[in-house]
Amino acid sequence: MDDLDFTDSELERYSRHILLPEVGAIGQAKLRAASVLIIGAGGLGAPMIMYLAAAGIGRIGIIDDDLVDLSNLQRQVAHTTDRIGVNKAESAAATAKAINPEITVNILPFRLASDTIDDLFSQYDVIADGTDNFETRYLVNDAAVRQSKTLVTAALLRFDGQITTVKPGGPCYRCLFPNPPPPAAVPSCSEAGVLGSVAGILGTMQATEIIKEIMDVGDSLSGRLMLFDGLSMSLRAMKAKQRKDCPACSIAHPETG
């Protein structure tokens, strides 16, 4: 099939995209040719997976070794009550394929590991971080920088969230947060709670950023940290600068450090 050759089904499915001047047939073809690895099928990953599947991302990888729990269902909208006890990657993949059977979904029902992360990242165009712990967040950032991959990362707690994009030559997560906070300094969602719809907002923002990066349209969040406050329904952007002493990006890309 030619890059701009769409089936009648695809033309109908993506008609509202193709009508957009910023997307058109060329942009939709870019989405179809792209691959995205989503790390974590939880509060952030679930809406990301659903919107990226609906958008027609050609291949989506979902990595998660956790099982669906009843307490997840308040925010992890890719899962359903009848899938309690099912692996989250498998459950989210079933939802993605139900939304769009024309895409490919790679089910990765295991934990991300430092000795295999580089090989895994090399198989995808864009990385999306939907994890909920600092150890994995730094592991993902460092591997994305080493692999020169675009990374869209977000986090949330209670009514608040944050999102940024890491691109080759720009500031990375370690430039913003050089070191993880002390243990127990930042409570988890299971300890402090989170409004379910906030996860939906941030996960959908991640999906939007990923789509923009693939099509190369609009302004990237690279170099900016976007802060969302659900109680005041406000967004605030902070500038991010690359640190010359950053142990991740200044070493991987010394010419930009």
If phi over 0 gives left and psi between -120 and 50 gives alpha, with beta otherwise, what is residue 155? Answer: beta
For residue 189, the model assigns a pLDDT of: 74
For residue 57, the model assigns a pLDDT of: 98
- Tell which residue, 165, 159, 224, 232, has the closest CA to residue 197: 159
CA Rg value for the chain: 18
Q: Quick one: average pLDDT of 51-76?
A: 98
Domain-by-domain residue ranges, the chain?
34-252
Say how far apart CA 59 and CA 147 lie, in whole Å: 19
SS3 of residue 217 by DSSP: coil
For residue 257, the model assigns a pLDDT of: 42
Q: Which of 29-33, 95-99, 180-184, 249-253 has the lowest mean pLDDT?
A: 249-253
**pTM for the model:** 0.93
Q: Is 189 a catalytic residue?
A: yes
Say how far apart CA 63 and CA 37 lie, in whole Å: 8
- Is the predicted pLDDT of residue 46 greater than 60, yes or no? yes
Q: Which residues pair with 38 in a beta bridge?
A: 62, 128
Topology of the domain comprising 34-252 = Rossmann fold (3.40.50)
What is the tens place of the pLDDT at every residue in 144-189? 999 999 999 999 989 999 999 999 989 999 999 988 887 766 777 7
For residue 254, the model assigns a pLDDT of: 54
Q: Choose the catalytic residue: 175, 189, 246, 249.
A: 189
For residue 47, the model assigns a pLDDT of: 98
